Amino acid sequence: MTPHIHFDGVGSQPLTKIFCDLNARCFSLNAGINDEYQCSVAYGFECFNDHIENEGLVELFSHSKHAESNVKPVKIGSSSKTVGWLCTIGALTSGDHNYVENKHFRRAAFTAVYLLLKNCNYSKELNVRNGDELKISDLFDEELSILVLHKPSIETNVSDTYTEILPCLHQYGFVPIGSSPTSQVEVDKVASDKFLNLETNIKLMPVSKEVEFAEFTDQVFRRLLPSATTPLLRFFLYYQLIETLLARIFNDRQSKTIDKLVAVKDNPVEAHPLIEKLKVDASDKTRIKLLFNEYSGIETKLNDLYEACNRLLVESGGEEKESIGDALYKVRNLIFHGLRGIPEKAMPHISEIVEQMSYAVPELMICFRIPDAG
């Protein structure tokens, strides 16, 4: 679909050309059937005119605690190589940060501005007049965050939709603006602390390649979670993601056991325990314990979630559980099947649990691995 610009008095016009005026340090945009409409957008820094068309990938996010001075080099996965930058829109044309003279940042910033203008996905409504001289802030909210990645450097890890790293960005409180382009979503304290405690760079870990349901994952992090206004709804969505992992575990355990069962089908003594194992592994309670241990190995990293779950259970008249799998599964049953039995004094603990899940669920998806057959 051809990008369009809305010009005052003549309506939406197709964008026909965008180029950088090296002397004026601005971007010129032509629109209309015969290039009869023009406007320019000030940039103010060095311009590049060599092969930037396909080298960048940009996405806009909301983050209420992201300051203009907080520019982060981006690394993907276990690589030590910088493959992009995370900053605010304002930082692209500002001198108020430590990377303003960095040649790699400046090229990335130039690429980001070019792609933002080329796509015409402005976060502000504006009727441009023919011949207008604009600023970036006339078209985009300067407080919005932008992630710009060097596309050739991330092709094996991240797709054009960013689906693989949306869960990790969620851990830091970054919300894709497609759900709410003109307002910032308040960041949970867990995510806010994780982001503000970063030092030099931000390392974005992709979701494990062994996690399935990529389309559903993208929908949850891009649209459903940003628009979920209550802790209960957020809990439901987070748990649906856990359910996708439990389904993956079910398929893995059952297929391995069935293979063993086929091999001993004529030996009832050896077959019987395998049949019993099929029944045990079909239990959600069994599989959620496996998820936190054998399939992710992160149980010891989630003590805050474990304690929040136990506080809710005790306040609701129950008993503490000995593992995070047992505790979260009991909370799940309490919320899904016994919500009316949760006393009012215990309800704040649901918010605590949900804040911890904003970190824990993406971490499960990142660390999820299918163990070797045993």
Band of pLDDT at residue 191, cut at 50, 70 and 90 = very high
Tens digit of pLDDT for each residue in 313-346?
A: 999 999 999 999 999 999 999 999 999 989 999 9
Band of pLDDT at residue 259, cut at 50, 70 and 90 = confident
Q: What is the mean pLDDT of residues 204-217?
A: 93
What is residue 32's predicted lDDT score, i.e. its pLDDT?
92
Residue 84 to residue 99: CA distance in whole angstroms: 13
Tens digit of pLDDT for each residue in 41-91?
A: 999 888 876 657 678 899 999 998 999 999 999 999 988 999 999 999 999
What is residue 182's predicted lDDT score, i.e. its pLDDT?
47
Residue 368 to residue 241: CA distance in whole angstroms: 12
82-88 β-sheet, strand order = 175-176, 56-62, 145-150, 82-88, 72-76, 202-204
Q: Look at residue 256 and tell me whether its pLDDT is greater than 90.
A: no
Q: What is the mean pLDDT of residues 180-209?
A: 84
Tens digit of pLDDT for each residue in 151-175?
A: 888 877 788 889 999 999 999 999 9
Task: Supply 358's token pair.
Answer: 């904003």
Placement of tokens 């609701």 in the chain: 316
Residue type, 348: P
How many percent of the chain have pLDDT more than 90? 66
What is residue 175's predicted lDDT score, i.e. its pLDDT?
93
Contact criterion met (CB below 8 Å) for 15 and 3: yes
Per the prediction, the chain carries an average pLDDT of 90
Buried b (16+ CB within 10 A) or exposed e, 105-135: bbbbbbbbbbbbbeebbbbeeeebeeebebe
Three-class DSSP category at 145:
strand
Q: In the chain, what are the domain boundaries?
A: 51-206, 231-367
In 3D, which of 109, 105, 60 has the Cα closest to residue 82? Answer: 105
Proportion of the chain in helix, strand, coil states, percent, rounded to 5: 45, 15, 40
Q: Is the pTM of this model over 0.75?
A: yes
Q: Would you tell me how many other CB atoms lie within 10 Å of the CB of residue 160? A: 10
Band of pLDDT at residue 101, cut at 50, 70 and 90 = very high
Residue 84 pairs with which residues in a beta bridge?
74, 149
- The secondary structure element, H or E, covering residue 56 is strand 56-62
Q: What is the end-to-end Cα distance of the chain in Å, rounded?
A: 51
Residue 28 to residue 158: CA distance in whole angstroms: 31
Residue 78 to residue 221: CA distance in whole angstroms: 23
